[in-house]
A and B are shown apart, each in its own frame.
Chain A
Amino acid sequence: MFYTQPLAKLIDEFQKFPGVGPKSAQRMAFFVLNLPYNEVTSLARSIVECKEKVKPCQNCFYLSALNPCEICANLRREVKSLCVVADSKDVIALEKTREFRGLYHVLNGLISPLANIGPENLKIHELINRVSNGSVEEIILAINPTIEGDTTVLYLNKLLKHLNLKITRIAFGLPVGSDLELADDITLVRALEGRREVV
């Protein structure tokens, strides 16, 4: 290639990032070359430090530098409601709302035999252990309305229903502030199924 060897290597590494193609990778590599030396070392150090320190929390498997994580350690949060999500990114999305005051449980994926992910590969066993100790009263499943999501919800429901807990799944339907006529059929059907009485 036209690149000198260390540069080619860096471009290759950047290309491994999600959503980054050859051109973006090249732009990023040249950006790094133009940075002052101390900023480059700071960047490299943050990558390594992040990898070393950020680990899944022992309770909820949310990625955090603390163990237990900031959310689990917060005594003001309600232990009686537990929100089950697929991914740490979902926790961040829900936390941004500042609406939910309970605790989380991150599954680390959804059941998908095609991708070789079975229930054993997810933190389902840990979820059962966690709710069996009795302090949890409601489980909220905040899981995407996809085939894999539906499968995982059905599976969890199978395992959890005999524990006499309230199990709910978040509602699906129209995005707030959107227009009925712009919604697609499937979303509208879901929204109709999940309708509520006006109070």
Chain B
Amino acid sequence: MWINNVYLKNFRNYPELDITLTSGANLFIGKNAQGKSNFLESIELLSLGKSSRQVSDLDLISHNQNSMQAETNFQNDYNLENLKICYEKHSNNKVNKSYFINGKAYKTRKPVLGRLLTVSFKSQDLQLSQNAPKYRRDWLDNLACLISKAYLEIYNNYEKIIAQKNSLLRNNFNSNLVSFNDSLDVYNQQIAQHGAKLIKFRLKTLDRINQYAQITLVNISSANDNLIIDYLRKSNNESSKNNLSYLNSVSQDEFANLLYNDMQTTKALEILRKQSLIGPHRDDLEFIINNQPAKGFASQGQHRSLILALKLAELQLLEDKFSQKPVLLLDDVLAELDENRQTELISRIYQSCQTIITTVNISYLPKNLFKEAFVFDVNNGHITKS
């Protein structure tokens, strides 16, 4: 699948942009803070239906403007498709969002998901294995949403319940103790039910990623490294077993019971901290290389190989799932990789995968990339083909 063109209006620092891309490599070169990442963000927006950055919807609209529009025509194996997303600033700073697929309007992002497939690899992704757990959860959740829209529904419902429970814990309702306890118990029941579904789904997704990541890691690192992504379920019971093969054997109903019991024992602490402390929104992933957790043991190089392996696994997983090659977005990341890893990544580009690359300096990129590539200059919200 490949993007023919992208049209932006009042998107971040782009007043207006209409740009045609090639189905091979597209290089975007520009100094810092000129809009390279913003451009990639607009493509991710069209792919996911929301920004991949942790920002408010309002931030996507240029300063002093009331609406923003992002549109693309892209080619998949069967036909040419059109995606358009509009954000309109409403009174009291709310944003009205509308989504168009081939001209037909939708109110939610759900139908957009899985249309334009992208895999993005940013320089900050290199921190994934060392960063806060939230980044790892988001990575898994976003991928799971792309693979199955049912997950999006489960995820959204779960988030709603957590928001309600947190609000209950914070506000302590007129401190009527009986009804407070009863409401809390009701939310715990719901978290157990919906959370168990969520965990089951995550495990299923993780299982598939694991199959791919192991192969891709061996391809990159000359050493025969062994990679497993493990799921860490947050539990107040320290001795509870948490490895993947054990968790995979637990049924959804058993998970619901485990979660419910954990919440019962943590209840006092949750009330004290005014936060829900148990559930999949607190879980984490652990990357294990050769039976050692990467966080404490892996070298910088191993971390990089690990992340690269994950991204390539993502690429392969989506390709097998949708029988389409996703578009690869590389944000300032090639310069961070050594020659072997660059070669591995670039070999993918030559396997007819459309790639959009941003960099500060063209000399950071391997020379053989320029054959047939489109090169663009990014300068303060304007992009020109050179």
Contacts and interface: CB of A to CB of B under 8 A. Distances in A.
Contact of B164 (A112, A119, A158): A112
B186 interface: yes
Interface in A109-123: 111-114, 116, 118-120
Interface string B157-198: 100110111011001011010011011011101100000000
Contacts, number: 58
Contacts of B167: 113-114
Contact of B149 (A114, A120, A154, A185): A185
Given A118-B179, A147-B164, A185-B150, A113 B173 contact: yes
A114 B164 CA distance: 5
Contact of A120 (B160, B164, B176): B176
Of the candidates A113, A118, A120, A159, the one having the most CB atoms from chain B within 10 angstroms of its own CB is: A113
Interface string B200-221: 0000000000000000000000
Interface residues of A, number: 18
Contact of A113 (B153, B183, B190): B183
B157 to A, nearest CB: 6
B267 to A, nearest CB: 16
Contacts of A154: 186, 189-190
A143 to B, nearest CB: 13
A118 B179 CA distance: 8
Contacts of B168: 113, 118
A151 B164 contact: yes
A93 interface: no
A186 interface: yes
Interface residues of B, number: 24
A76 to B, nearest CB: 36
A158 B190 CA distance: 13
* SS class, residues of chain A in contact with chain B: helix
A157 to B, nearest CB: 9
Interface string A147-177: 1101100110011000000000000000000
Contacts of A158: 182, 185-186
Given A154-B189, A155-B183, A159-B182, A186 B164 contact: no
A154 B153 CA distance: 21
B192 to A, nearest CB: 11
A118 B174 CA distance: 9
Contacts of A118: 168, 173-174, 176, 179-180, 183
A185 B154 CA distance: 11
Nearest to B160: A147
Contact of B186 (A112, A116, A155, A186): A155
Give the 9 A-B residue pairs with the shortest CB-CB distance, closest first. A113-B167, A118-B173, A113-B168, A154-B186, A119-B179, A114-B167, A147-B160, A155-B186, A113-B164
